[in-house]
Amino acid sequence: MTATLRRRLGLADAVVVGIGSMIGAGVFAVWAPAAAAAGTGLLVGLAIAGAVAWCNATSSAQLAAVHPESGGTYVYGRRELGAAWGFLAGWGFVIGKTASCAAMALTIGAYAWPGAERLAAAAAVAAIVAVNIGGLTRTAVVTRVLLVFAVTALAVVVVVGWSSEDADIGRLTPLAGSWLDHLRAAGFLFFAFAGYARIATLGEEVRDPVRTIPRAIRGALAVVLVVYIVVAVTALSAVPAAELAASDAPLRVVVESGRWSGLGSVTRVGAGIAALGALLNMIPGVSRTVLAMARRRDLPGWLAGVDTRRHLPLRAELIVAAVVAAVVLVADLRDAIGFSGVAVLVYYAITNASALRLPDEHRRAPRIVAGTGLLGCLVLALALPVSAVVAGAAMLAGGLIGRAVLSRSRWGTTPSP
């Protein structure tokens, strides 16, 4: 008898998983490349990224209600657009989120162990694997605890940032940068919103997924958007944008600028733990998409195995973790964020295209929402640095070529629908 995943998570657990996936490396690291791109204009980028994320979340919620199974847009694209588009979405998610995991692990090192970032990142990945092997219920509980640390660290950033004698909300104006700069900043900032996809990959592990997944996605995104606005305003008011742009740990710079800079250790530890919480949810999310792709022979079939005792896709999870550990040994944090942005924005472009194909009886939002999300994703992806766009396009094309060459030989004959 084939082992299956177990429906163990309720609405509160799913919301926590989504918030924990977003409030992590993103909110602690992404301000640096965004400030480098647009200075104070990153506030415009934040608004754009939030709007695109809302469109994506709405499309994801509609599709998750119609197709409540593991795999997210990999499944939605196959059902609504065809197998090749589904594969492109799944492959984009796998490579993009693998880069995201590496960025999160490197953020842990940047805050918690400056000078030994890569070693700390690799150790964090190993620790995450140990926790996840304990089962998803345990993961959800641990995520709640880690989220408390993250929120505490952000509260310290806000309070200490405003304690600085130089803190001045007048620094927010005039908004720097051109529209291209704002779009590039939005492309970087989108990295901090993309965690709600983790909820959509839980289609086989939440109770009443038709109702739970859409509500959890919207709820998690709303909470996170408010948090990001508060943090962005605080950071730009407390520290010149150029100082934020120069550091891989920008919120540590904010705390050190305040009169209670001694609390910087709280922020360093909290940021590391918050990134750990995001990593805790992201690695299982990637592994569930690998599971879904392997079930349909878009990836090697042996990755589709589910451990009968733990009810986990253990092989897929161990492979994903091994790749992330290898990437953190060679990758740069900002390059990882840019590459991840390109791949994940393509993933969400396919999400919105899939939502446009839904019949009226399954539609919960006007088509213009999905259309806006589709256009927004493509524009933001192309606005990212050229090196990230080229690398992302090459990896996506390589995946399609590999599928065409190998899917009918070594991995099987005809993928299942």
Who contacts 38 (Cβ-Cβ below 8 Å, separation ≥6)?
A: 44, 45, 176, 177, 181, 182, 184, 185
At residue 318, the 3 state secondary structure works out as helix
Give burial (CB, 10 Å; 0-12/13-18/19+) of 301: middle
What is the amino acid identity at position 338? G
By three-state DSSP, how is residue 307 classified? strand
Q: At what angle do helices 333-356 and 83-112 cross, to 10 degrees?
A: 150
65 within 8 A of 213, measured Cβ to Cβ: yes
List C-alpha distances in Å: 153 to 146, 229, 266, 386. Answer: 11, 16, 6, 34
d(CA 292, CA 70): 6
Tokens standing for 333?
A: 């944090």
Segment 191-200 mean pLDDT: 73
Residue 274's closest CA among 13, 4, 7, 28? 28
Model confidence at 342, pLDDT cuts 50, 70, 90, reads very high
Distance CA(242)–CA(141), nearest Å, equals: 39
Q: What is the pLDDT of residues 56-81, one digit of tens each?
A: 988 988 887 788 776 678 889 999 99
Half-sphere exposure of 54 (CA within 13 A, CB side): 14
CA distance 37 to 35: 5
What is the percentage of the chain residues whose pLDDT exceeds 90?
A: 43
What's the average model confidence in pLDDT over 199-203? 64
pLDDT tens for 283-315 read: 888 888 888 888 888 888 889 888 877 778 888
pLDDT in tens, 368-385: 999 999 999 999 999 999
- Domain positions in the chain: 11-406
pLDDT of residue 301: 84
Model pLDDT for residues 114-169, shown as the tens digit of each residue: 888 899 899 989 888 888 776 655 456 766 777 788 888 899 999 999 998 889 99
CB 26 within 8 A of CB 38: no
- In tens, the pLDDT along 96-117 reads 999 999 998 998 888 888 888 8
Q: Which has the closest alpha carbon to 112: 272, 251, 262?
A: 272
> Number of C-alpha atoms within 13 angstroms, CB side, residue 101?
32
Would you tell me how many other CB atoms lie within 10 Å of the CB of residue 178?
10
Helix (H, G, I), strand (E, B), or coil: what is residue 173? coil
Contact 346, 313 (CB under 8 A): no
Identify the band that residue 412 occupies on the pLDDT scale cut at 50, 70 and 90: very low
Beta bridge partners of 388: none
- When the pLDDT of each residue in the chain is averaged and rounded to a whole number, the result is 85
Q: What is the pLDDT of residues 210-234, one digit of tens each?
A: 777 778 877 888 888 889 999 999 9
Top-confidence residue, 279 or 94? 94
Q: What is the structure's pLDDT at 17?
A: 76
The percentage of residues in the chain with a pLDDT greater than 70, rounded to a whole number, is: 89
Query: Does 4 score more than 80 pLDDT?
Result: no
Neighbouring C-beta atoms of residue 118, cutoff 10 Å: 15
Residue bearing the bigger pLDDT, 144 or 391: 391
Q: Report the distance separating Cα 174 and Cα 327, nearest Å.
A: 39
Q: CA torsion angle for 351, 356, 361, 362 (degrees, to 10)?
A: 10
Alpha-carbon span 98 to 93, nearest angstrom: 8
Above 50 in pLDDT, residue 414?
A: no
Query: In the predicted model, what is the mean pLDDT of residues 224-247?
Result: 93
d(CA 27, CA 389): 23
Averaged over 355-366, what is the pLDDT?
89
**411 pLDDT above the threshold of 60:** no
Q: Tokens for 318, please give them.
A: 């161990």
Q: What angle do CA 188, 245, 325 make, to 5 degrees?
A: 60
Cα atoms found within 13 Å of the Cα of residue 337, Cβ hemisphere only: 28
CB 303 within 8 A of CB 315: yes
- The CATH number that domain 11-406 falls under is 1.20.1740.10
Q: What CA–CA distance (Å, rounded) separates 218 from 140?
A: 18
Contact 401, 394 (CB under 8 A): no
Element (H, E) at 215: helix 209-238
Q: Is the pLDDT of residue 44 over 90?
A: yes
Q: Report d(CA 385, CA 348) in Å as an integer.
A: 19
Is-contact 28 249, C-beta < 8 A? yes
Question: How many helices (H) does the chain have, and how many strands (E)?
Answer: 18, 0
**Lookup: tokens for 335:** 């390059």
What is this structure's pTM? 0.85
d(CA 223, CA 261): 27
